[in-house]
Amino acid sequence: MSGATAERRAELAANLAAVRDRLTRACAQVDRDPTQLRLVVVTKYFPRTDVDALIDLGVTDLGENRDQEARAKLVDPPVRARVHFIGQFQTNKATSIAGYADVVHSLDRPKAIAALDRAVRANGREVTGLIQVSLDGATGRGGAQPEDVPALADAVAASALRLGGVMAVAPLGADPGSAFARLRTIAAELRASHPEATIVSAGMSGDLESAIAHGATHLRVGTAILGSRQSHE
């Protein structure tokens, strides 16, 4: 497989540097340590050549939304990075996802947790699970209702998965600050029962500053680094 062109590598390097600068400045505004944040670069619809170039540029965490694409792109040869599965999935995909994902951000119902639990027990890999929370009362973008988070977290903690924390997407057309403030409260309540659940996955290209201000630990950034989504299939 040929690598990314010199022009593409330069573009990725410049975009990555700009995002890292945004993170540093956002942390300075709220007196946070940028080294405590994890940048998950979302590579959905972009080729393995971009993935390899990003890893060469120091990216350690990659995010993918679709099992079929992730498996085809990241598994053979295995990617040299931590893989985050951040999309919704049907339970029949759990075995596949458990084979390569290090963190699954989208656990929002008991059946998904049970399916991933069985898959992890079967293959013996360590996988961290996050409870995806809906912050607008809707389910179109996925996510459990806030009142369901404690029971789902208990289910993850009792499974073969490691309970990592929570994930959310800011509602479309709403102030991300108020949404992320609510997520911060939900995360704090979860840590009261499960102190190990320290991950708060929130913030994307357009709202990462707001997410940082409200305690995000993991930022899922795609467009600001890779450019506009385009299919490479």
- What 53-57 contacts at long range (C-beta under 8 Å, 24+ apart), as own/partner pairs, is 53/3, 53/4, 53/8, 53/9, 53/12, 54/12, 54/16, 54/225, 55/79, 55/80, 55/81, 56/9, 57/9, 57/12, 57/13, 57/16
**The pLDDT value given to residue 1:** 55
Amino acid (one-letter) located at 110: P
* 197-223 confidence digits (pLDDT tens): 999 999 999 999 999 999 999 999 999
Between CA 52 and CA 60, with CA 54 as vertex, the angle to 5 degrees is 100
**The pLDDT value given to residue 62:** 98
pLDDT score of 195 more than 50 = yes
pLDDT score of 2 more than 50 = yes
Whether pTM > 0.85 for this model: the answer is: yes
* 104-133 confidence digits (pLDDT tens): 999 999 999 999 999 999 999 999 999 999
pLDDT score of 138 more than 90 = no
How many helices (H) and strands (E) in the chain?
Answer: 9, 8
Cα separation, 171 vs 175, whole angstroms = 8
Model confidence at 232, pLDDT cuts 50, 70, 90, reads: very low
Pinpoint the alpha helices (H) of 77-197.
Answer: 94-98, 110-123, 149-157, 176-193
Yes or no: say if 88 and 63 are a contact pair by the CB < 8 Å rule: no
Model confidence at 172, pLDDT cuts 50, 70, 90, reads: confident
Nearest to 26 by CA among 16, 37, 15: 37
Cα separation, 110 vs 158, whole angstroms = 12
pLDDT score of 23 more than 80 = yes
Going from the N-terminus, what domains does the chain have, and what CATH number goes with each? Answer: 6-225 (3.20.20.10)
What is the C-alpha end-to-end distance of the chain, expressed in Å?
15
Taking residue 211's Cβ as centre, other Cβ atoms within 10 Å add up to 28
pLDDT score of 144 more than 80 = yes
The stretch 172-193 carries a mean pLDDT of: 95
Token pair of 125 as six digits: 């890999």
